[in-house]
Structure 1
């Protein structure tokens, strides 16, 4: 019927009003991509930063964190699995 001749087909001005559903679909996809959120962001106000810096617990907290880091690096940090389980249960049941 067609033989070895190449058959090309243009998809332009399809439909009674000249609409091309393929182009419309592409436009729809592009609009969806543009409307997607760029990602989560977290902003801490200057007042919150000041409060954090002035906190009397900052030094004690930093000291505790330093000790934890050292014990983790040394491999001596032990997790109290019962305490973790109890906290998880308390959180789950809103206690």
Structure 2
């Protein structure tokens, strides 16, 4: 007579015990990041002076606490991005 037709507690216990053992043995996977050659090339390129000026202006506004986000423009850009317009 089956009391639990969806699986046994014993099999659940064994699988969770195996997970604990694998973590304890130090064989867990680690995250890694790979940077493509194109991204490395982009890092090497100099920033145009116009863009550098804009970045400095924005940084000053942020530092002064005067930078305001145009929520409507953000929403419009997200809408365009997700709808392919």
Shorter-chain TM-score range: 0.5 to 0.7
1:85 to 2:75 alignment: yes
The answer for unaligned runs of 5 or more in structure 2 is: 1-9
How far is the alpha carbon of 1:45 from its aligned partner? Answer: 4.4
Q: Deviations over 1:60-91 (max 9, x none)?
A: 33332222111011111111111111011112
Larger Rg: 1
The answer for the alignment partner of 2:33 in structure 1 is 42
The answer to which structure has the higher helix fraction is 2
- TM-score calculated relative to the size of structure 1: 0.51
Q: Which has the higher contact order (CA 8 A, sep 6+)?
A: 2
Q: Counterparts of 1:22-61 in structure 2 under 5 Å?
A: 25=14, 28-29=18-19, 30-31=21-22, 33=23, 34=26, 36-39=28-31, 41-45=32-36, 48-55=39-46, 58-60=47-49, 61=51
Partner of 1:72: 62
Cα distance in 2 between the residues matched to 1:45 and 1:89: 29
Superposed CA offset, 1:22-46 (max 9, x none): xx94861222x3554312x333245
Aligned residues: 69
